[in-house]
Amino acid sequence: MNRLRLDKIFPKEKGLGIVELMITIVILSVTMVATAKLQGILLQSSSETNERATALNLVQGKLEDLQGSFNQLTGSSNSFVDIQSGADADITIDNISYARSWVVEDNYYCPYPTIASSCSGRSYPDFKQVTVTITWGDNQSIVLADSISAPNFSGESEVIPILFNNNN
């Protein structure tokens, strides 16, 4: 009787061949390089995100300063009519220099609800349009705009509704 010998069909191999070893090394090397590049990209992205978050906080802070900087309509150093355009000295945070400026435009309802930049017979604007811009790094910037309404007679600012006529 002929015995079927498995070692003739499936010869036993001893150890890894040089080709298999080289393929394994190449695959591991490519994987490690790709992982290192991905980690570098993630760190750079995280840094840019932190820069944008800082810039946005500076813009929002300036808007809040301007909105809360007055306590009456006219007649004091902190009055609504004294809110003007300007710029800060460069602000450096985490070795990054931010340049912040703001533009303030007076606006009138003349006649209501038409908005104009001037109106005869009016001594103060109904609201001010404020646009704050911050720039940093290589041409990066954030622009944020908001409106500040004139305070009512109690000294607090108020929201003036704009009515729209849909019958036109």
Predicted confidence (pLDDT) per residue in 90-134, tens digit: 999 989 999 999 999 988 888 777 777 777 777 788 888 999 999
Whether 161 is covered by a domain: the verdict is: no
Judged on CB neighbours under 10 Å (0-12, 13-18, 19+), 34 is exposed
Please state, in angstroms and rounded to a whole number, the distance separating the CA atoms of residues 71 and 79.
6
70-75 CB contacts, 8 Å cutoff, 24+ apart:
70/151, 71/155, 72/151, 72/155, 73/124, 73/150, 73/151, 73/155, 74/124
The DSSP code for 157 is B
What does each C-alpha distance from 41 to 54, 55, 139, 140, 143 come to in angstroms? Answer: 20, 21, 20, 18, 26
Whether 3 is covered by a domain: the verdict is: no
Judged on CB neighbours under 10 Å (0-12, 13-18, 19+), 120 is exposed
Whether 11 is covered by a domain: the verdict is: no
Please state, in angstroms and rounded to a whole number, the distance separating the CA atoms of residues 107 and 112.
12
How many domains are there within the chain?
A: 1
pLDDT at position 72 is 57
Whether 167 is covered by a domain: the verdict is: no
| Residue-range definition of the domain harbouring residue 55 | 19-149
pTM of the model: 0.62
Phi, psi for residue 39 in degrees, rounded to 5: -65, -40
Whether 79 is covered by a domain: the verdict is: yes
Whether 159 is covered by a domain: the verdict is: no
Whether 40 is covered by a domain: the verdict is: yes
Beta bridge partners of 129: 105, 147
Torsion-angle region of 15 (φ positive above 0: left; ψ -120 to 50: alpha; else: beta): left
Whether 2 is covered by a domain: the verdict is: no
Look at residues 117, 141, 129, 114 and name the one whose alpha carbon lies nearest to residue 58: 141
How does pLDDT run across 123-167, given as a tens digit for each residue? 788 888 999 999 998 889 999 988 888 776 544 444 444 444 344
